[in-house]
Amino acid sequence: MERRPLILIVEDEKEIAKFVDLELQAENYETVVTYDGVTGLSKFRELNPDLVVLDLMLPVLDGLEVARRIRKTSNTPIIILTAKDSVDDKVTGLDSGADDYLVKPFSIEELLARVRAHLRRVNPAVTGEVRVADLVMNLDGREVFRDGRRIELSAKEFELLELFARNPGKVFNRFEIEEKVWPEYTGGSNVVDVYVGYLRRKLEGEGERRLIHTVRGVGYVLREE
């Protein structure tokens, strides 16, 4: 029998830890729950789980510090839960080594979807996924990662990127793209150029190499160069 993924939950609010635990068990994951940062970190070292669900405000050792220490020795996905949702908090959370960030109150479906996505990322055998270079598109969860970094895309941005990612190396002209992604509008706008610009801005946000290239006089292509 295949080993069930092990998920470590570090959350000091017992009622929240409880239902997250119940839901993850119901999804057939193995779980370990701890209620403070120090215990969480020692459990992590002892058990080497497949994924960590980590609360940000923890007694003794706070979540950011736990994430930083885990990241020193391991690439295990970390999903942070928090009651803070300002942009600064989000950036700090992700900088500390977390892979994802959910703000309370979160919907449990969302948490489960993220857990699935991150486990799939470390376990590439799973289908429903497109990979080009360091770009990973999870088509079911409609999620995009670049080098492990989760990238938020709008619906049209995702559709456009999916069109490129499913056909790496194929050059699309603007008309083709418009017909596929914006079928409800007649042509004549620069919507394709603008959206390629949006995608580049997001995909290259951390100074990554360019993936979507302009083919002068023709259109655009996604390829690794």
Partner 1 sequence: MTLRLRLAIFTSAFIAVILSAVAVSVYLLTERSLAVAVEERARQALADLSEGAIATGLQRLPGDAYYQIILVETAPAVPRDVATIRNGVDYTQPTAVRANPTDDSLLGLLSDRALEDLIAGDDLASYVTLRNQERLRVLGRLGTIAFPNQAVALTAVIVVGLPTSNVQRTLEQLAQDLGLIVLVAFLAFAFGVWWLARQVLAPLQRVTQAASRVSGKDLSRRVPVPGTEDELRALALSINHMLDRLQESFETQRRFTADASHELRTPVTAIVGHAQYVLRRTRPSAEQADSLRVIQREAERMAKLVHDLLELARADAGFQVQRAPMNLVEVLEAVRDDLAPLAAPAAIVVDCARPLLEVEGDPARLKQVVLNLVQNALDAGAQRVSLQLQRDGGEVRLEVLDDGPGIPAEALPHLFDRFFRVDGARSTRGNGSGLGLAIVRWIVAQHGGSVDVRSRVGEGTVFTVTLPAYDAPPDVT
Cα separation, 28 vs 24, in Å, equals: 7
C-alpha 6/C-alpha 14 separation (Å) is: 19
Nearest distance from C-beta of residue 45 to partner 1, angstroms? 28
Question: Count H helices, E strands: the chain?
Answer: 8, 12
Verify binding: residue 175, partner 1, rule CB under 8 A: no
Count the site residues for partner 1 by CB under 8 A. Answer: 36
From CA 33, how far away is CA 44, in angstroms rounded?
11
| 127 interacts with partner 1 by CB under 8 A | no
Helix, strand or coil for residue 133?
coil
Q: Which is nearer to partner 1, 123 or 189 (CB)?
A: 189
SS3 183: coil
Both structure tokens of 158: 């995702």
Q: Residue 70 or residue 81: which is nearer to partner 1 going by CB?
A: 81
Q: How far is the CB of 73 from partner 1 (least distance, A)?
A: 30
Distance between CA atoms of residues 7 and 77, nearest Å: 10
16 binds partner 1 (CB under 8 A): yes
Stretch that binds partner 1, among 29-37, 46-54, 77-85, 136-144 (CB under 8 A): 77-85
List contacts with partner 1 (CB under 8 A): 13, 15-16, 18-20, 22-23, 26, 83-87, 104-108, 154-156, 178, 182, 184-185, 189-191, 193-195, 197-198, 201, 214
